Structures are given as C-alpha cells and as structure tokens.
Structure 1
C-alpha cells in the first residue's frame, strides 16, 4: 500500500531537521560562591544540633531528628529546591499535622530520602545556577550532569570527577559513594548508564585538617550530620575498612578557581565542546 503524500513529506522534513545545538559553556563563579556553599552547609549542620559521626562506624541510636516538628520547614525548604520532589511535600504535609496533634507514629520525612535535595538546596541557595549545578532529588542524576560538563568543557567545568586515591578533598568538594547493591567499581563505569537512577550519596567537604576530612550531608542519621573521614599525610581519603562502602569519587569543585577569578585566562580559548 502506497504511503500518503503527507507521510512522505514528514519523513523528508525529519531528515532535514537541524542538529541539536552544542551545549552552552558553563559560567565561572567568584570565590564568594564557594565560600557560601561551605558556610550554608555548616549553618544547616549547626541548626540540626551539630551531630558528628566517624566514617564507617555505626550511627548512635537516637530518635529521628527529621521527625521533630521543629525540623519540618527545614526539610521542606530542601525539597523546594528541586523541580520534582517525588511527592515528598504532598505526603508529609498531613504527617506534620498529625505530629502537631501529638499523635504517635508520625514519621516525618522518612520517605523519600532527602539527601540529594539537601545538596541541591545548598548550591542553589549559594547562588549557583541550575546550568552549573542542576538540582535533583537523585544524586546520580546531578552527578551525570556534572560529569558531562567535565567531558564537554574540561577547562571550564565547575566540577571535575576525581579518583579518591588521586585527589585530596578541599572545602566545597563533594565526596560521593555508591549505595546500590551491585556497586560500581569506579566512577567511569557510570558513563555506561548515564541517565538511569542509581542509589548514591554525596556530602559537601566543609573542613580539612591533618589526618581528617570533614563532610556535611543531609539525611545522614536522619539529620544534617558531619562525618569525619580519616586521611593520610597527603590529605587523601583513607581506604574503607573491609566490608564497608568505599568512596566512589571526589567531585572537585572549581567554583571561584576558574578565570577570571583564578587559573590562566588562556584556558578559555583552549576549551572546545566535545561530542
């Protein structure tokens, strides 16, 4: 059966469609943005009572701080920073009313996990636009965007993925690990599944001292918690103990460190998008 003329015309037009434009280069940010990221993360940590834990050790048992009515607006603000809150606000508003009434069993903000929303809130509140840090309720998906920028614009990307054994974390960096059952062997394995959600977690580096790297993350022991990782003399993260989840990557933050605020301005001319 012969195809109608309009169908053939559509096929012809589809073949002549213009290719998608290349991605726009990311913008550089002043040092103030990087400082705000750390300051905001530490400020939230203090608002949650400054809980601290040691990496790869069991969390102390305590009532979930996220379920306290006083913390309801804090987690709500984190969820407002992402485009899709996965129904978190809709489902937790009635739980908040139940908690205010003093009823038992109102487990506020227990589902879905809000750790990625917290990270997104910090960067958004620090003034980092969605082009440079796309807010997302899933760590793996915003990491995909940051890794893509690093591949397309290696000298302009605001973040670069680094092997934990090769990059000593600095304040503002992200320390990330894989929470899935079948874990990635290295961060580059993520490239084969870009765009598919994977359970992951990231914390923001807020301080570095001899032998220790301090990070702050959300939904850690049901609060905004500081975790202290051991580090070697060079500042590199120590390896995870046997049976514990290792750090998958350190996402180096170059906020405030790129032209015209740092490095050589000649790097801009050398940066060309790659496919």
Structure 2
C-alpha cells in the first residue's frame, strides 16, 4: 500500500508538466465520423469510448509520453470499479479495491490534526493494479451492445484477442473482427489497435495463433478517428487514466511503428460488426 502512495504522489508532482517535444496543439473535438451511420454498432462503440474519455476530462497525448499534461481527477476511481464490473474477474478486484480505499483513507484521516478537513486520496494510481485496460475495452464493448459470445469480456487483452483470432480462423468470412497487419491496413473508427507489451514481443498476429491460450501482457485501444496523418484511439489505464492518444500514420493511413523502446503494434482488428452475419 505504501508503494501505491509513493507512486501516486510522484505522479501528482509530475502530472502538471508537459512531455518535452510534445508541444503540438491538442486535436479538435473528436466525434463519430459522418461516414459511420449513427445507428450502427461500430458508431455505438466509438460513442461509448468517447463518453468515457469525456468523463475523464478529455485527456489527450501525442504518441507515447511519460506523463499526462494534467493529472487525472482522483474521484474517477469509481469509474474503474464500473469497468471491473464488466469482466468475470471483477468482483474480487472490486472487493480488494474497496478494502484498500477504506483502509488508506482511514489511515490518512488518522494522521490529520483534530478538526482538519477530511483526507483526500493522493492519486488515481492507487487503483492502477491490477491493470484495468482490458476491463475498459470490455466495458465499452458491453455499452455498445456487443454480445459476450462475440467479444468475451476479460481482464486480460490476450484472452479476448485469442477468442477474436479463433473466431476469424474458424469462419473468416463471417468473423465480426478481422485481424490485419498494421502495415497493411488503415484503422477506421470502431477498430481495435493492439500492441504487445512483452519483453520478447510479437510483431505479427499470426504468431499469436501458434500460442493460443498463453498469457501475454498486451494493450488495445479503440480507434475513434483517423486521417490527417494520425490515428486517434482511446484506451484505459494509459498513464492511470482513460486517454485519447494520437499515433502517427503514413499518407495511406497506416499507423507507423512505435519507437524501438515502446510496445510494437502487432494487429489491428477490423470491426465488422455491422456487416458480419
């Protein structure tokens, strides 16, 4: 618990500083593109991701910074608990988070002088473990009305990635999510763009087929807009918050490879919810 407090305080001190070299102006407000009919499930997924981004204060970064331009509001921890409700592993995680929250708040309050105002939690990072990025994706899928048999909610990205790949392998023409190499497919709103955070990462989604069922630390974001030399995608647990990231893209719209020291993109899942049988 003390380690979480130190991490939270460190992030709070660093959160007000902009990453050097990321001085480009923020993007304009992101809205579901007109090319996506508003009643489609793809548009519903984009709207669900945008709703959570708005809830967290529209935090936006370019690429892969080490800190947010502003600190996420600590009261957003309740949203994290909501995300955990969407996955099978959630109830146990929620109980641990609530116990930790109550114990920490009680300890901070005891250290205050008599008559002082109630203690405030130092940072949202207190709820950063276990990682909740896959729970976030599962939550927005549920909010968009995507059935669990199409996108199985999970606390691990690698689990639902295996399921999406298996669905494509068994029925390529009708799979609701189709895998593509990032260098060969330009992401569109409603797609998922995924990176492998392993120490020995995969660079091609075909390699994940060969190790189905094996856990890997991964991360996926929901693409909400593309064009103008960037792919804009929203993810959870990005620097302990829900964040819109702008990834550089080539003239054809393909997301460019991340820097050598960042997790490589290894798959983009084309969202075919509106066309697959």
Of 254, 259, 264, the residue aligned with 1:241 is 259
The 1:228/1:104 distance shift into structure 2, 3 A limit, reads closer
What is the CA–CA distance in structure 2 between the aligned matches of 1:214 and 1:196, rounded to whole Å? 29
Note the residue ranges of structure 2 that are not aligned, 5 or more in a row: 1-37, 110-118
Cα drift, residue 167 of structure 1:
0.5
Q: Which residue of 2 aligns with 1:41?
A: 49
Are 2:224 and 1:206 aligned? yes
Q: Is the 8 A contact 2:203 2:265 kept in 1?
A: no
Note the residue ranges of structure 1 that are not aligned, 5 or more in a row: 1-29, 260-275
1:36-69 deviation line (CA, Å, top 9, x unaligned): 100010010010011111113333376564xx1x
* Aligned partner of residue 248 in structure 1, secondary structure: strand
Of 75, 83, 87, the residue aligned with 1:78 is 83
Q: Is the 8 A contact 1:72 1:96 kept in 2?
A: no
* Aligned partner of residue 219 in structure 2, secondary structure: strand
Q: Which residue of 2 aligns with 1:166?
A: 184
Are 2:195 and 1:177 aligned? yes
Cα drift, residue 162 of structure 1:
0.5
1:152-208 deviation line (CA, Å, top 9, x unaligned): 111111001100011100000001000111111321111222112110000000011
Q: Is the 8 A contact 1:31 1:255 kept in 2?
A: no
1:224-258 deviation line (CA, Å, top 9, x unaligned): 00000111111111122333332111111101123
Cα drift, residue 71 of structure 1:
1.4
1:75-102 deviation line (CA, Å, top 9, x unaligned): 1110000011283211111233344852
Moved more, 84-93 or 32-41: 84-93
The 1:86/1:142 distance shift into structure 2, 3 A limit, reads farther
TM-score normalised over the length of structure 2: 0.76
Cα drift, residue 110 of structure 1:
2.0
Q: Which residue of 2 aligns with 1:263?
A: none
Q: How does 1:132-143 map to 2 (within 5 A)?
A: 132-143=150-161
Cα drift, residue 210 of structure 1:
1.8
What is the CA–CA distance in structure 1 between the aligned matches of 2:53 and 2:71, rounded to whole Å? 17
Q: Is the 8 A contact 1:31 1:257 kept in 2?
A: no
Q: Is the 8 A contact 1:53 1:59 kept in 2?
A: no
Moved more, 249-258 or 96-105: 96-105
Q: Tell which structure's C-alpha radius of gyration is larger.
A: 1
Q: Is the 8 A contact 1:177 1:200 kept in 2?
A: yes
Q: Which residue of 2 aligns with 1:53?
A: 61
What is the CA–CA distance in structure 2 between the aligned matches of 1:189 and 1:52, rounded to whole Å? 32
* Aligned partner of residue 256 in structure 1, secondary structure: coil
**Two-structure CA RMSD over aligned residues (Å):** 2.1
The 1:149/1:104 distance shift into structure 2, 3 A limit, reads closer
Q: Is the 8 A contact 2:229 2:253 kept in 1?
A: yes
What is the CA–CA distance in structure 2 between the aligned matches of 1:142 and 1:242, rounded to whole Å? 26
Are 2:131 and 1:110 aligned? no
What is the CA–CA distance in structure 2 between the aligned matches of 1:244 and 1:188, rounded to whole Å? 20
Q: Which residue of 2 aligns with 1:151?
A: 169
Cα drift, residue 73 of structure 1:
2.2
Of 204, 210, 215, the residue aligned with 1:186 is 204
> Aligned pairs, how many?
227
Q: Is the 8 A contact 2:197 2:264 kept in 1?
A: no
TM-score normalised over the length of structure 1: 0.77
* Aligned partner of residue 215 in structure 1, secondary structure: strand
